[in-house]
Structure 1
Amino acid sequence: MPKLYPVINTVLVLVSILYPFIWYFGQKYTGVIPVAVLMALIWLLRALLNRQPLQKLLSCAVMLLFIVLAWLHSVKAMYWYPVMVSALLLLVFGASLYSRQSLIERLARLQRPDLPASGVRYTRRITQIWCGFFCVNIIITAGLITGEYWHAWTVYTGLISYLLMGILFGGEFLYRRLILKI
Protein backbone atom coordinates (compact mmCIF):
# COMPACT_ATOMS: atom_id res chain seq x y z
CA MET A 1 0.00 0.00 0.00
CA PRO A 2 2.79 2.58 0.74
CA LYS A 3 3.80 2.41 -2.95
CA LEU A 4 0.29 3.49 -3.91
CA TYR A 5 0.33 6.59 -1.64
CA PRO A 6 1.76 8.94 -4.32
CA VAL A 7 -0.79 7.74 -6.89
CA ILE A 8 -3.70 7.99 -4.44
CA ASN A 9 -2.54 11.43 -3.27
CA THR A 10 -2.31 12.64 -6.88
CA VAL A 11 -5.84 11.43 -7.61
CA LEU A 12 -7.12 13.08 -4.41
CA VAL A 13 -5.47 16.39 -5.29
CA LEU A 14 -6.86 16.27 -8.84
CA VAL A 15 -10.38 15.57 -7.62
CA SER A 16 -10.07 18.43 -5.12
CA ILE A 17 -8.87 20.77 -7.86
CA LEU A 18 -11.71 19.68 -10.13
CA TYR A 19 -14.27 20.16 -7.35
CA PRO A 20 -16.01 23.14 -9.00
CA PHE A 21 -16.74 21.09 -12.12
CA ILE A 22 -17.61 17.96 -10.14
CA TRP A 23 -20.04 20.00 -8.04
CA TYR A 24 -21.54 22.08 -10.88
CA PHE A 25 -22.29 19.11 -13.11
CA GLY A 26 -22.66 16.45 -10.40
CA GLN A 27 -25.36 18.21 -8.43
CA LYS A 28 -27.39 18.75 -11.62
CA TYR A 29 -27.40 15.04 -12.44
CA THR A 30 -27.05 13.27 -9.10
CA GLY A 31 -28.04 15.81 -6.44
CA VAL A 32 -26.24 17.11 -3.39
CA ILE A 33 -25.80 13.92 -1.40
CA PRO A 34 -23.63 11.87 -3.82
CA VAL A 35 -21.25 14.78 -4.46
CA ALA A 36 -21.00 15.65 -0.75
CA VAL A 37 -20.39 12.00 0.13
CA LEU A 38 -17.72 11.72 -2.60
CA MET A 39 -15.94 14.79 -1.21
CA ALA A 40 -16.25 13.46 2.35
CA LEU A 41 -14.65 10.18 1.25
CA ILE A 42 -11.84 12.05 -0.50
CA TRP A 43 -11.09 14.05 2.64
CA LEU A 44 -11.27 10.87 4.74
CA LEU A 45 -8.63 9.30 2.47
CA ARG A 46 -6.52 12.45 2.78
CA ALA A 47 -6.79 12.21 6.57
CA LEU A 48 -5.75 8.56 6.51
CA LEU A 49 -2.80 9.20 4.19
CA ASN A 50 -1.49 12.35 5.87
CA ARG A 51 1.33 11.81 8.31
CA GLN A 52 1.27 15.25 9.94
CA PRO A 53 -1.23 15.62 12.81
CA LEU A 54 -2.38 19.12 11.79
CA GLN A 55 -3.08 17.98 8.22
CA LYS A 56 -4.98 14.96 9.55
CA LEU A 57 -7.05 17.24 11.77
CA LEU A 58 -7.82 19.69 8.95
CA SER A 59 -8.73 16.83 6.59
CA CYS A 60 -11.10 15.37 9.20
CA ALA A 61 -12.68 18.80 9.75
CA VAL A 62 -13.35 19.22 6.01
CA MET A 63 -14.68 15.66 5.82
CA LEU A 64 -17.11 16.42 8.64
CA LEU A 65 -18.16 19.59 6.84
CA PHE A 66 -19.11 17.58 3.75
CA ILE A 67 -20.98 15.05 5.89
CA VAL A 68 -23.00 17.91 7.40
CA LEU A 69 -23.63 19.33 3.92
CA ALA A 70 -24.86 15.93 2.72
CA TRP A 71 -27.13 15.71 5.75
CA LEU A 72 -28.50 19.24 5.15
CA HIS A 73 -29.05 18.64 1.42
CA SER A 74 -27.95 22.25 0.86
CA VAL A 75 -27.19 23.00 -2.77
CA LYS A 76 -26.10 26.58 -2.11
CA ALA A 77 -23.85 25.67 0.83
CA MET A 78 -21.75 23.39 -1.40
CA TYR A 79 -20.71 26.41 -3.45
CA TRP A 80 -18.94 27.89 -0.41
CA TYR A 81 -16.25 25.20 -0.35
CA PRO A 82 -13.72 27.24 -2.43
CA VAL A 83 -14.34 30.21 -0.14
CA MET A 84 -13.58 28.04 2.87
CA VAL A 85 -10.38 26.74 1.24
CA SER A 86 -9.24 30.30 0.45
CA ALA A 87 -10.13 31.38 4.00
CA LEU A 88 -8.13 28.50 5.42
CA LEU A 89 -5.13 29.39 3.24
CA LEU A 90 -5.50 33.05 4.24
CA LEU A 91 -5.48 31.96 7.88
CA VAL A 92 -2.35 29.82 7.42
CA PHE A 93 -0.44 32.46 5.42
CA GLY A 94 -1.68 35.32 7.61
CA ALA A 95 -0.91 33.57 10.89
CA SER A 96 2.65 32.94 9.68
CA LEU A 97 3.14 36.72 9.48
CA TYR A 98 2.85 36.78 13.28
CA SER A 99 5.42 34.04 13.78
CA ARG A 100 9.19 34.29 13.63
CA GLN A 101 9.25 33.13 10.00
CA SER A 102 6.56 33.69 7.40
CA LEU A 103 5.35 30.67 5.45
CA ILE A 104 7.18 31.76 2.30
CA GLU A 105 10.37 32.32 4.31
CA ARG A 106 10.15 28.76 5.65
CA LEU A 107 9.78 27.48 2.09
CA ALA A 108 12.65 29.66 0.88
CA ARG A 109 14.91 28.37 3.66
CA LEU A 110 14.43 24.83 2.37
CA GLN A 111 16.46 25.88 -0.69
CA ARG A 112 18.60 28.53 0.95
CA PRO A 113 19.06 28.06 4.72
CA ASP A 114 21.29 31.16 4.93
CA LEU A 115 18.61 33.54 3.63
CA PRO A 116 19.86 37.14 3.99
CA ALA A 117 17.86 39.88 5.74
CA SER A 118 16.75 41.24 2.34
CA GLY A 119 15.41 37.77 1.50
CA VAL A 120 13.52 37.66 4.79
CA ARG A 121 11.87 41.03 4.03
CA TYR A 122 11.10 39.88 0.48
CA THR A 123 9.50 36.61 1.59
CA ARG A 124 7.41 38.45 4.18
CA ARG A 125 6.15 40.80 1.44
CA ILE A 126 5.32 37.84 -0.82
CA THR A 127 3.41 36.21 2.04
CA GLN A 128 1.42 39.46 2.38
CA ILE A 129 0.73 39.45 -1.37
CA TRP A 130 -0.60 35.89 -1.15
CA CYS A 131 -2.84 36.99 1.74
CA GLY A 132 -4.16 39.78 -0.49
CA PHE A 133 -4.76 37.27 -3.29
CA PHE A 134 -6.78 35.02 -0.98
CA CYS A 135 -8.84 38.02 0.22
CA VAL A 136 -9.66 39.00 -3.37
CA ASN A 137 -10.41 35.37 -4.23
CA ILE A 138 -12.83 35.14 -1.30
CA ILE A 139 -14.58 38.38 -2.30
CA ILE A 140 -14.98 37.37 -5.95
CA THR A 141 -16.17 33.86 -5.16
CA ALA A 142 -18.58 35.06 -2.46
CA GLY A 143 -19.94 37.65 -4.89
CA LEU A 144 -20.57 35.01 -7.53
CA ILE A 145 -22.37 32.84 -4.97
CA THR A 146 -24.42 35.71 -3.59
CA GLY A 147 -25.41 36.77 -7.10
CA GLU A 148 -26.13 33.14 -7.99
CA TYR A 149 -23.89 33.25 -11.06
CA TRP A 150 -23.36 29.49 -11.02
CA HIS A 151 -21.75 29.12 -14.45
CA ALA A 152 -19.38 32.02 -13.73
CA TRP A 153 -18.64 30.49 -10.31
CA THR A 154 -17.63 27.23 -12.00
CA VAL A 155 -15.38 28.94 -14.52
CA TYR A 156 -13.83 31.25 -11.94
CA THR A 157 -13.23 28.68 -9.18
CA GLY A 158 -12.36 25.83 -11.54
CA LEU A 159 -10.14 27.70 -14.00
CA ILE A 160 -9.56 31.43 -13.58
CA SER A 161 -8.52 31.35 -9.92
CA TYR A 162 -6.01 28.57 -10.67
CA LEU A 163 -4.64 30.55 -13.61
CA LEU A 164 -4.28 33.61 -11.37
CA MET A 165 -2.47 31.52 -8.74
CA GLY A 166 -0.18 30.16 -11.43
CA ILE A 167 0.56 33.65 -12.75
CA LEU A 168 1.29 34.91 -9.23
CA PHE A 169 3.48 31.92 -8.42
CA GLY A 170 5.27 31.92 -11.79
CA GLY A 171 5.68 35.70 -11.90
CA GLU A 172 7.18 35.74 -8.43
CA PHE A 173 9.51 32.86 -9.31
CA LEU A 174 10.74 34.60 -12.47
CA TYR A 175 11.12 37.93 -10.65
CA ARG A 176 13.13 36.29 -7.88
CA ARG A 177 15.37 34.35 -10.30
CA LEU A 178 15.86 36.92 -13.06
CA ILE A 179 15.68 40.29 -11.29
CA LEU A 180 16.68 39.59 -7.70
CA LYS A 181 18.89 36.64 -8.64
CA ILE A 182 18.13 34.77 -5.43
Structure 2
Amino acid sequence: MKAALALIGALLALAYPALVYFSLGHASTDAFAALLLMLAIMRGLSAYRQPGIALQVAIILALAGILYIQKQADLLRYYPVLINLAMLGVFASSLWRGQSLIERLARLTEPDLPDSGVVYTRRVTQVWCGFFIVNGSIALWTALYASWEDWTLYNGLIAYVLMGLLMAGEWILRQRIRKKQI
Protein backbone atom coordinates (compact mmCIF):
# COMPACT_ATOMS: atom_id res chain seq x y z
CA MET A 1 0.00 0.00 0.00
CA LYS A 2 2.79 2.41 0.94
CA ALA A 3 4.63 1.69 -2.33
CA ALA A 4 1.47 2.26 -4.36
CA LEU A 5 0.85 5.59 -2.62
CA ALA A 6 4.45 6.60 -3.23
CA LEU A 7 4.19 5.73 -6.92
CA ILE A 8 0.87 7.54 -7.41
CA GLY A 9 2.14 10.56 -5.47
CA ALA A 10 5.35 10.68 -7.50
CA LEU A 11 3.45 10.40 -10.77
CA LEU A 12 1.06 13.16 -9.72
CA ALA A 13 3.97 15.38 -8.73
CA LEU A 14 5.76 14.73 -12.02
CA ALA A 15 2.60 15.29 -14.04
CA TYR A 16 1.54 18.37 -12.05
CA PRO A 17 2.45 21.01 -14.69
CA ALA A 18 0.73 19.07 -17.47
CA LEU A 19 -2.33 18.37 -15.29
CA VAL A 20 -2.62 22.06 -14.51
CA TYR A 21 -2.14 23.15 -18.11
CA PHE A 22 -4.61 20.71 -19.63
CA SER A 23 -7.20 21.28 -16.87
CA LEU A 24 -7.24 25.07 -17.03
CA GLY A 25 -10.68 26.25 -18.04
CA HIS A 26 -12.12 22.80 -17.36
CA ALA A 27 -11.63 22.49 -13.61
CA SER A 28 -12.30 24.92 -10.79
CA THR A 29 -9.68 26.17 -8.40
CA ASP A 30 -11.46 24.08 -5.75
CA ALA A 31 -10.71 20.97 -7.82
CA PHE A 32 -7.06 21.99 -8.01
CA ALA A 33 -7.01 22.61 -4.26
CA ALA A 34 -8.45 19.11 -3.78
CA LEU A 35 -5.75 17.69 -6.09
CA LEU A 36 -3.07 19.42 -4.03
CA LEU A 37 -4.64 18.13 -0.82
CA MET A 38 -4.65 14.59 -2.24
CA LEU A 39 -1.02 14.98 -3.33
CA ALA A 40 -0.02 16.20 0.14
CA ILE A 41 -1.79 13.29 1.82
CA MET A 42 -0.20 10.73 -0.50
CA ARG A 43 3.26 12.24 -0.03
CA GLY A 44 2.84 12.35 3.70
CA LEU A 45 1.55 8.79 4.08
CA SER A 46 4.04 7.20 1.71
CA ALA A 47 7.23 8.98 2.69
CA TYR A 48 6.72 10.49 6.13
CA ARG A 49 10.17 9.40 7.36
CA GLN A 50 12.13 10.80 4.43
CA PRO A 51 14.02 14.07 4.94
CA GLY A 52 12.03 17.12 3.96
CA ILE A 53 8.69 15.41 3.44
CA ALA A 54 7.04 17.24 6.35
CA LEU A 55 8.15 20.56 4.85
CA GLN A 56 6.91 19.58 1.39
CA VAL A 57 3.56 18.43 2.78
CA ALA A 58 3.19 21.68 4.75
CA ILE A 59 3.96 23.75 1.65
CA ILE A 60 1.51 21.80 -0.50
CA LEU A 61 -1.20 22.09 2.17
CA ALA A 62 -0.59 25.83 2.51
CA LEU A 63 -0.80 26.30 -1.27
CA ALA A 64 -4.02 24.24 -1.37
CA GLY A 65 -5.53 26.34 1.40
CA ILE A 66 -4.54 29.65 -0.18
CA LEU A 67 -5.83 28.45 -3.56
CA TYR A 68 -9.13 27.36 -1.99
CA ILE A 69 -9.57 30.77 -0.33
CA GLN A 70 -8.24 33.03 -3.11
CA LYS A 71 -9.71 31.14 -6.11
CA GLN A 72 -6.86 32.33 -8.39
CA ALA A 73 -5.56 29.75 -10.84
CA ASP A 74 -2.28 31.66 -11.24
CA LEU A 75 -1.33 30.50 -7.75
CA LEU A 76 -0.88 27.02 -9.24
CA ARG A 77 2.25 28.30 -10.98
CA TYR A 78 4.06 28.61 -7.65
CA TYR A 79 4.05 24.91 -6.75
CA PRO A 80 7.39 24.21 -8.52
CA VAL A 81 8.93 27.30 -6.90
CA LEU A 82 7.84 26.20 -3.44
CA ILE A 83 9.02 22.62 -3.93
CA ASN A 84 12.45 23.89 -5.07
CA LEU A 85 12.59 26.09 -1.96
CA ALA A 86 11.68 23.14 0.24
CA MET A 87 14.31 20.94 -1.37
CA LEU A 88 16.90 23.71 -1.06
CA GLY A 89 16.01 23.99 2.63
CA VAL A 90 16.40 20.24 3.17
CA PHE A 91 19.72 19.96 1.32
CA ALA A 92 21.20 23.20 2.69
CA SER A 93 20.20 22.52 6.29
CA SER A 94 21.88 19.11 6.09
CA LEU A 95 25.19 20.89 5.45
CA TRP A 96 25.02 22.38 8.96
CA ARG A 97 23.74 19.29 10.79
CA GLY A 98 26.63 16.85 10.66
CA GLN A 99 26.13 14.51 7.72
CA SER A 100 24.98 16.04 4.47
CA LEU A 101 21.89 14.56 2.86
CA ILE A 102 23.91 12.94 0.07
CA GLU A 103 26.30 11.44 2.65
CA ARG A 104 23.35 9.91 4.52
CA LEU A 105 22.10 8.41 1.26
CA ALA A 106 25.59 7.15 0.37
CA ARG A 107 25.97 5.50 3.77
CA LEU A 108 22.90 3.37 3.09
CA THR A 109 24.98 1.36 0.61
CA GLU A 110 28.44 2.16 1.96
CA PRO A 111 28.32 2.49 5.78
CA ASP A 112 32.11 2.88 6.08
CA LEU A 113 32.35 5.85 3.73
CA PRO A 114 35.97 7.06 3.60
CA ASP A 115 36.89 10.68 4.37
CA SER A 116 37.26 11.38 0.65
CA GLY A 117 33.68 10.14 0.19
CA VAL A 118 32.44 12.47 2.92
CA VAL A 119 34.10 15.44 1.20
CA TYR A 120 32.71 14.34 -2.17
CA THR A 121 29.14 13.87 -0.88
CA ARG A 122 29.27 17.25 0.82
CA ARG A 123 30.30 18.84 -2.50
CA VAL A 124 27.48 17.01 -4.32
CA THR A 125 25.01 18.32 -1.73
CA GLN A 126 26.30 21.85 -2.41
CA VAL A 127 25.85 21.31 -6.16
CA TRP A 128 22.25 20.23 -5.56
CA CYS A 129 21.71 23.38 -3.50
CA GLY A 130 22.95 25.41 -6.47
CA PHE A 131 20.64 23.47 -8.77
CA PHE A 132 17.62 24.20 -6.58
CA ILE A 133 18.51 27.90 -6.45
CA VAL A 134 18.82 28.15 -10.25
CA ASN A 135 15.87 25.88 -11.01
CA GLY A 136 13.67 27.59 -8.44
CA SER A 137 14.63 31.01 -9.84
CA ILE A 138 13.70 29.94 -13.36
CA ALA A 139 10.46 28.40 -12.04
CA LEU A 140 9.70 31.73 -10.33
CA TRP A 141 10.43 33.64 -13.53
CA THR A 142 8.08 31.35 -15.47
CA ALA A 143 5.42 31.78 -12.77
CA LEU A 144 5.65 35.56 -12.96
CA TYR A 145 6.27 36.25 -16.65
CA ALA A 146 5.89 33.23 -18.91
CA SER A 147 2.82 32.02 -20.74
CA TRP A 148 1.09 28.90 -19.43
CA GLU A 149 2.63 26.98 -22.33
CA ASP A 150 6.18 28.08 -21.48
CA TRP A 151 5.56 27.52 -17.76
CA THR A 152 4.40 23.98 -18.53
CA LEU A 153 7.30 23.31 -20.90
CA TYR A 154 9.93 24.40 -18.39
CA ASN A 155 8.41 23.00 -15.19
CA GLY A 156 6.93 19.88 -16.77
CA LEU A 157 9.81 18.86 -19.02
CA ILE A 158 12.96 20.97 -19.10
CA ALA A 159 13.42 21.04 -15.30
CA TYR A 160 13.15 17.24 -15.16
CA VAL A 161 15.60 16.83 -18.05
CA LEU A 162 18.07 19.13 -16.27
CA MET A 163 17.64 17.18 -13.04
CA GLY A 164 18.23 13.92 -14.90
CA LEU A 165 21.34 15.34 -16.57
CA LEU A 166 22.70 16.43 -13.19
CA MET A 167 22.07 12.96 -11.74
CA ALA A 168 23.64 11.23 -14.75
CA GLY A 169 26.61 13.60 -14.78
CA GLU A 170 27.25 13.05 -11.09
CA TRP A 171 27.02 9.27 -11.52
CA ILE A 172 29.55 9.36 -14.40
CA LEU A 173 31.89 11.59 -12.38
CA ARG A 174 31.58 9.29 -9.35
CA GLN A 175 32.52 6.25 -11.47
CA ARG A 176 35.61 8.06 -12.81
CA ILE A 177 36.68 9.09 -9.32
CA ARG A 178 36.26 5.53 -8.03
CA LYS A 179 38.34 4.12 -10.90
CA LYS A 180 41.16 6.54 -10.06
CA GLN A 181 41.07 5.47 -6.42
CA ILE A 182 41.34 1.74 -7.19
Q: Give the TM-score normalised by the residue count of structure 1.
A: 0.89
Q: Could you tell me how far apart the structure 2 residues matched to 1:109 and 1:75 are? A: 42
Do the aligned partners of 1:32 and 1:73 also contact (CA within 8 Å) in 2? Answer: yes
Unaligned regions of 5+ residues in structure 1, if any? none
Number of corresponding residues? 179
Do the aligned partners of 2:103 and 2:118 also contact (CA within 8 Å) in 1? Answer: yes
Per-residue deviation, 1:57:
6.5
Spell out, residue by residue over 1:20-48, the C-alpha distance to the aligned partner (whole angstroms, 9 max, x if none). 11111112321322122112122123334
Spell out, residue by residue over 1:55-100, the C-alpha distance to the aligned partner (whole angstroms, 9 max, x if none). 3564255224313212211212110000000000000000111121
Spell out, residue by residue over 1:83-125, the C-alpha distance to the aligned partner (whole angstroms, 9 max, x if none). 0000000000001111211111111111111111111111111
In the alignment, which residue of structure 2 is the partner of 1:85?
83
Match of 1:113 among 111, 114, 121: 111
What are the residue-to-residue correspondences of 1:7-22 with 2, within 5 Å?
7-22=4-19
Q: CA RMSD in A?
A: 2.0
Q: Could you tell me how far apart the structure 1 residues matched to 2:84 and 2:48 are? A: 23
> Comparing 158-167 with 110-119, which one deviates more in the overlay?
110-119
Q: Could you tell me how far apart the structure 2 residues matched to 1:55 and 1:142 are? A: 21
Q: Give the TM-score normalised by the residue count of structure 2.
A: 0.89
Distance 1:90 1:122, change over 3 A: same
Q: What amino acid sits opposite 2:7 in the alignment? A: T
Q: What fraction of aligned residue pairs are identical, expressed as a percent?
A: 38
Q: Could you tell me how far apart the structure 2 residues matched to 1:133 and 1:61 are? A: 20
Distance 1:79 1:150, change over 3 A: same
Distance 1:72 1:15, change over 3 A: same
Per-residue deviation, 1:175:
1.3
Q: Could you tell me how far apart the structure 2 residues matched to 1:74 and 1:153 are? A: 16
In the alignment, which residue of structure 1 is the partner of 2:43?
46
What are the residue-to-residue correspondences of 1:1-182 with 2, within 5 Å?
4-52=1-49, 55-56=53-54, 58-181=56-179
Q: Could you tell me how far apart the structure 2 residues matched to 1:174 and 1:16 are? A: 27
Unaligned regions of 5+ residues in structure 2, if any? none
Do the aligned partners of 1:102 and 1:124 also contact (CA within 8 Å) in 2? Answer: yes
